[in-house]
Structure 1
Amino acid sequence: MSLVDLIARADERGLAASGLACLDRCVPLLGGDDEVLRPLWSSLADGGADGDAWGERLAKARAELDCADPSADTVPGLGPDPAPGSGSGAETETETEAETEAAVSDEDRAAALARRMLATAPGDPCASALRAWADACSAAALQIHRLLDVAADGDGPLVAAERRRQVAVLELLAGRGAGGLRPALEVSTEGRRVLRAVVSRRARGRS
């Protein structure tokens, strides 16, 4: 079954786990430790994303990672669209945007996508909110891995592996329910280690 079909058929716990797993694998971009999202995984095991614990633990994770406001993200191509009529002319705006875009690294764009995943997580989720979030997290996580992949075009090894992990998490939750959370977390942990190694390698290459 395709990734799109799995998200479309997932229940609330599966959707929450799917979005959380995508975010968890990208924690190295946010400067957080590996355990920062563990309480959210625990809330899914205890009662799903509809309990009070989810909202409280989500707020704590946002505070720890300083990701409370999605509108604060102004990385070119990821931030909100400018208001109509703003600026001093289309040509000036285009030149300024191009100059700013050139100064922003792929790591900055990837980190902005990760921050947005956390900032837009539904604190009082319903199935429709979780489905929209899980879908957005899936796309964002794939884009993050595409930005950091060694392949110049298309789906390189990082992107392909991320897609496999997303499918694996959704299949585990669909097949085992709450019993799929532990192996889903293991899948996410493996992906987080891979991304952390990629981020460290790229940082060494710039030094």
Structure 2
Amino acid sequence: MTSVTSTSLQELIDRADTRSLAAAGLACLDRCLPLLAPDRAEVLRPVWAAVARGDGGAWAEAVGKARVELDGAGDGDVDAGGVVTMVRVMLDGVPAEWAEGPLREWAGRCSSIALTLHRLYDATEAGPLHAGELRRQSAVLEAAAHGPTGLRRARELSIEGGRVLRAVVSRRARTA
């Protein structure tokens, strides 16, 4: 199996279409959202549905509703390492406009933030959590390139990655 690098991931982002960019950014946010709002795992489901439809109006509406539902999430939490702030940047940066330029910029920023967050929870600089996130991001982009049918796989990868991150965070909290 070929290893995924940050460079090859960036190449995938550079070549992605609008729907794939939306899925890539959303998947990163979805995996990291429990760090901001652990009790609101399903709030992004309507946004995923809008991506599947490729409908700019549905996207804008679903993004707006998710922002309202997550308003104030993480406020008052101890923000060790800036984790809550980083996830908030991903959420606040979701473009309401269904357009390639803003979605490409957002997907790239989400990719970088998600990789940084995973590295923070790794035991070593080039640890398995970070490497797994690189592979997951690449797989999401490749799945999303197959259109609406690939989005189910992209969402599955996102859910799996969220579980992994939650387990690591939980384990770290227990041993702290």
Per the normalisation by structure 1, the TM-score is: 0.75
Given the alignment, which residue of 24, 31, 34 partners 2:30?
A: 24
Higher deviation after alignment, 5-14 or 23-32: 23-32
Given the alignment, which residue of 122, 132, 136 partners 1:161?
A: 132
3-state SS, counterpart of residue 5 of structure 1: helix
CA distance in 2, matches of 1:128, 1:160: 27
3-state SS, counterpart of residue 147 of structure 2: helix
Q: Quick check: which has more Rg, 1 or 2?
A: 1
Aligned identity (percent) is 56
Structure 2 gap segments, 5+ residues each: none
Match of 1:89 in 2: none
In the TM superposition, what are the counterparts of 1:71-150 in structure 2 within 5 Å? 105-106=80-81, 109-150=82-123
CA distance in 2, matches of 1:104, 1:29: 10
Q: How much does 1:63 deviate?
A: 1.6
Higher deviation after alignment, 116-125 or 25-34: 25-34
CA distance in 1, matches of 2:22, 2:161: 18
1:82-107 Cα deviation digits (max 9, x unpaired) = xxxxxxxxxxxxxxxxxxxxx9622x
Question: What amino acid is aligned across from residue 16 of structure 1 in structure 2?
Answer: A
CA distance in 1, matches of 2:87, 2:126: 19
CA distance in 2, matches of 1:160, 1:169: 14
Structure 1 gap segments, 5+ residues each: 74-102
CA distance in 2, matches of 1:105, 1:42: 33
Q: Are 2:62 and 1:57 aligned? A: yes
How many residues are paired up? 166
Q: Are 2:6 and 1:12 aligned? A: no
